[in-house]
Amino acid sequence: MQVAMLARIWGTRGSIAAPGPHTARYGGNTSCVEVRASDGTVIILDCGTGARELGMHLAQTVPQPMRLHLFIGHTHWDHIQGFPFFVPAFLPGSELNIYAPMGFQRGLEEAMAGQMEYAYFPVKLRDLRSRIHFNELDEGFFRVGEVLVETQYLNHTAPTVAYRMTSDGASIAYVTDHEPFWSAPGRVSQHPGDERHIAFLKGANLVIHDAQYTAEEYLDKVGWGHSSIEYAVDVALAAGVERLVLFHHDPAHDDAILEQMETTARAQVASRGQALDVLAAREGLELHVQGSGSVTLDVAEASALQHRQIAGGRVLVISANENEIEEILGEDGLQFLRQSDVNAALARGAELLPDIAIVDREALDGDAGLVTLRERLGRRNLPIIVLADSTIPSDAVYRGEASSTDYLAKPFSPPMLRARVRAWLARTLMVFDPTEPTTVIQGPVRSATDNRGRCANLLATVPLFRHLTSEQRDLLLDSAAEQSFAPGQVLVRENEPPDRLFVILSGRVRVLEVAPDSSLELIVGELGEGQIIGELGVLRNQPRSATVVAVERTHCLMLHQNEFLKVLQNSTEMAVSLLRTLAGRLYETDRRLSRYAPDPVTGLVGRRAFHDQYRRLAAVARRRKTGALLLVLDVVQLRAINDRLGYGVGDDVLRTVADALVEATRTTDLIGRHGGDEFVVFLPDAGGGDADTVVNRVLERITTLSVKRGIPTPIRCNVGIVYAQAPPETAEDMLREADQDMLRRRQ
């Protein structure tokens, strides 16, 4: 048998590097593994500190110019911290293809560049001389050279993927960072997540698996996103793996501890009477993987390179912790469907159209409750995350479970919940290929599975068309068409003829207008699922007045103008519903103008917009536990300036103060004009020790701008500032304390 792939380990540690005499045998560098296929393809698994020596080795052994593939499990620091010292990244002509899942707060390129900002490293990412391509992954398949790569989400505190590489009949799986989906005693595959994990590893020749803890250590580390050696052995045995390498060593484990862990793992295998070669990863270890030709994979159509947007995903929440759940998931752009209990959800049934459900187990009536809920919601395989008490017997949790039922033990880890929801939505949300030709719907409705029947059902869920008869829906669908639009693709162009209107079935679009006497495009608004586009042009029979662009992958049903007008003329309910839609948009436009229109003098946000935006920023600061400052500033004797020098000078004073605040603060800070002479600034991610620095910087900038602009009177301001480790939900309390601080400073 030929050697199909070679794996060489350059870094074995997790969390932080641990070099020294006590780790000399197994190594102290953080995660990095090299894989070479028989066709010459070079794959690098993670880019921890071990990547430094690997880079120098590649520069000497790989033909120039190099073409490398970097597979990053996730962008936590211990998996990317070696990249700034990776020699091939600095070589002209080298091509680096970097793959990783999309994180919570930053894209892949932004995360990689973050550690190379000038404050941390002298060379910025954009200054590297190699050609770098960034690829964000979901679950699925892709190829590099002759190597077929499969990805699967792991159970970690951030979106993390495992990689399985298959070439010439041999297969290597790289699985770190990961922990059991459920830690109750009993058989290992007692959770659908563990079942999928075992299926992913099935029949692999070599598995490099997270095994950071002993069973005893893991009891105190549940929710940290790592496995015990016992779990790693269990899943490898269940999957029929040939060789298991224990990986991601804890930085506190010296060579003696790791040797004992290796011995424990081998004893566990011996006690089962199965064939499995187990060893602990050590730097410099080379593993030759031979191709047997017997490895077969059920290759799905899903491409791991096709990123699935989860923004706009509909989450049904049936839990007493609904506020906590929504706050945890608040930054992901999801829509929340709150229901007080399961009965309320059953009563509404299919009209809810959730993409995922989060349900407290106490709200369910046995396992049959999940089946009933799915039936009423009209999705047999709807993913449901059950929040279950970890103290209940395991047989009560898993009896009769469905493959798309997930269980999370309470009290749950917020990052784990967020990662689970992200994985399920990316895995299950429908993806439409914008390169496919438009599908025209023709022929009578024969069954619910027909394309036309499916679109009729979807149309019935849109409020505007909900009360139509089946005959009226058929008329609309006679000349209807479906089409998907990629992010950035134009649905409607300004001045186009109004020959059709669009019903948004999924996704989101942005409406743009060209400003008068300018080529600048202004954002008029955004529309999402269940809303319509182009109805005004159709009704008025006038060219389009705006351009509409897809913000994310958007799937639409396009209705012809003539059929729409025919149905509208014969349906009072639809006409009234359309009037309500138009009235709602007018009301929303007026509301936004009154609430969010910038202050006409300074251009800053007004009082209402400040308070609305404060709530969002404060929630993020509370979740991250980073603290925040709030500064209140009022202009001394503004009324006297207006009376003595005129309102024109008063306005110049206000604009000078506003501009000084903008220049003296960060782009992430929130600045508003709170009243006639009062300004307010909210500074998230700022410490209490920064207060005086902020105040002095603002006052100095006001003085500088005042002199520069020739303001005919000195600008004096009273200032109050307050710090909060956990900013309250509303700004009133902090504003009150800042006013009190202002009074103290005056005295």
The span from the CA of 286 to the CA of 408, in Å, is: 38
Higher pLDDT among residues 23 and 492, named by residue: 23
Which is nearest to 357 in space by CA: 341, 365, 155, 347? 341
pLDDT tens figures, 422-449: 888 887 764 333 333 333 333 333 333 3
| 324 to 321, 384, 412: CA distances (angstroms) | 5, 18, 11
pLDDT tens figures, 42-99: 999 999 999 999 999 999 999 888 999 999 999 999 999 999 999 999 998 899 999 9
Residue 425: DSSP 8-state: H
Instruction: Note the pLDDT of residue 172.
Output: 96
Phi, psi of 209 (to 5 degrees): -125, 140
Three-state DSSP state, 8: strand
What are 99's two structure tokens?
Answer: 């793959």
The span from the CA of 299 to the CA of 653, in Å, is: 67
The CA dihedral of 220, 226, 227, 228, to the nearest 10 degrees, is: -40
Handedness of CA 101, 105, 106, 107 (dihedral sign): positive
pLDDT tens figures, 236-270: 999 999 999 999 999 999 999 999 999 999 999 99
521 pLDDT more than 70: no
The span from the CA of 376 to the CA of 507, in Å, is: 24
Q: Are 166 and 200 in contact (CB under 8 A)?
A: no
The span from the CA of 681 to the CA of 629, in Å, is: 8
Higher pLDDT among residues 501 and 340, named by residue: 501
pLDDT category at 292 given cuts 50, 70, 90 is: low
State which H helix or E strand residue 318 sits in. Answer: strand 314-318
Handedness of CA 248, 254, 255, 258 (dihedral sign): negative
pLDDT category at 745 given cuts 50, 70, 90 is: confident
Three-state DSSP state, 342: helix
Report the 3 state secondary structure along 199-221. Answer: HHHCCCCEEEEECCECHHHHCCC
Q: Are 305 and 142 in contact (CB under 8 A)?
A: yes
Which is nearest to 651 in space by CA: 732, 711, 720, 739? 711
| 713 to 608, 634, 646, 675: CA distances (angstroms) | 31, 16, 12, 21
Which is nearest to 87 in space by CA: 112, 71, 74, 68? 68
Q: How many CB atoms lie within 10 A of CB 596?
A: 13
The span from the CA of 359 to the CA of 601, in Å, is: 49
Q: Determine the average pLDDT of the residues in 711-720.
A: 93
**In the block, residue with structure tokens 């910038």:** 598
162 pLDDT more than 60: yes
Give every CB contact of residue 593 below 8 A, 6+ residues apart in sequence: none
183 pLDDT more than 80: no
The span from the CA of 658 to the CA of 663, in Å, is: 9
The span from the CA of 458 to the CA of 452, in Å, is: 10
Phi, psi of 485 (to 5 degrees): -125, 130
**In the block, residue with structure tokens 């005129």:** 646
The span from the CA of 367 to the CA of 392, in Å, is: 14
Higher pLDDT among residues 484 and 222, named by residue: 222
Report the 3 state secondary structure along 467-514. Answer: CCCHHHHHHHHCCCEEEEECCCCEEECCCCCCCEEEEEEECEEEEEEE
Q: Determine the average pLDDT of the residues in 152-169.
A: 92
Domains of the chain, each with CATH number or no CATH? 3-288 (3.60.15.10), 314-428 (3.40.50.2300), 439-595 (2.60.120.10), 607-746 (3.30.70.270)
Instruction: Note the pLDDT of residue 276.
Output: 95
Q: What is the mean pLDDT of the chain?
A: 84
pLDDT category at 299 given cuts 50, 70, 90 is: low
The span from the CA of 110 to the CA of 462, in Å, is: 38
Three-state DSSP state, 101: strand
Q: Name, of 224-228, 310-314, 517-521, the range with top average pLDDT.
A: 224-228
Instruction: Note the pLDDT of residue 391.
Output: 57
Q: pTM score, two decimals?
A: 0.61
Report CA Rg, the chain: 30
Residue 13: DSSP 8-state: B
pLDDT tens figures, 96-144: 999 998 876 677 888 888 888 878 888 888 888 888 988 888 888 889 9
Q: Determine the average pLDDT of the residues in 628-633.
A: 94
Q: How many residues does the chain have?
A: 747
State which H helix or E strand residue 40 sits in. Answer: none
- Range 267-274 contact pairs with CB under 8 angstroms and sequence separation of 24 or more: 268/229, 268/230, 268/233, 269/233, 269/237, 272/237, 274/237
The span from the CA of 680 to the CA of 691, in Å, is: 14
**In the block, residue with structure tokens 């000349």:** 479
The CA-based angle 344-350-355, given to 5 degrees, is: 95
392 pLDDT more than 70: no
The span from the CA of 422 to the CA of 307, in Å, is: 12
pLDDT category at 399 given cuts 50, 70, 90 is: very low
Instruction: Note the pLDDT of residue 230.
Output: 95
pLDDT category at 393 given cuts 50, 70, 90 is: very low
Q: How many CB atoms lie within 10 A of CB 454?
A: 15
Q: Determine the average pLDDT of the residues in 16-38.
A: 96
What are 9's two structure tokens?
Answer: 């380990």
The span from the CA of 183 to the CA of 191, in Å, is: 9
Instruction: Note the pLDDT of residue 590.
Output: 64
Q: Are 495 and 513 in contact (CB under 8 A)?
A: no
Instruction: Note the pLDDT of residue 463.
Output: 77
The span from the CA of 77 to the CA of 223, in Å, is: 18
Which is nearest to 29 in space by CA: 70, 85, 74? 85
The span from the CA of 465 to the CA of 640, in Å, is: 60
Q: Determine the average pLDDT of the residues in 495-509.
A: 85
Instruction: Note the pLDDT of residue 450.
Output: 42
Q: Name, of 22-31, 453-462, 615-624, the range with top average pLDDT.
A: 22-31
The span from the CA of 222 to the CA of 231, in Å, is: 13
pLDDT tens figures, 613-626: 888 788 878 877 88
The span from the CA of 703 to the CA of 705, in Å, is: 6
| 404 to 369, 415, 420: CA distances (angstroms) | 14, 20, 12
Report the 3 state secondary structure along 244-257. Answer: EEEECECCCCCHHH
pLDDT tens figures, 202-219: 999 999 999 999 999 998
The span from the CA of 485 to the CA of 387, in Å, is: 36
What are 321's two structure tokens?
Answer: 């912790």
State which H helix or E strand residue 449 sits in. Answer: none
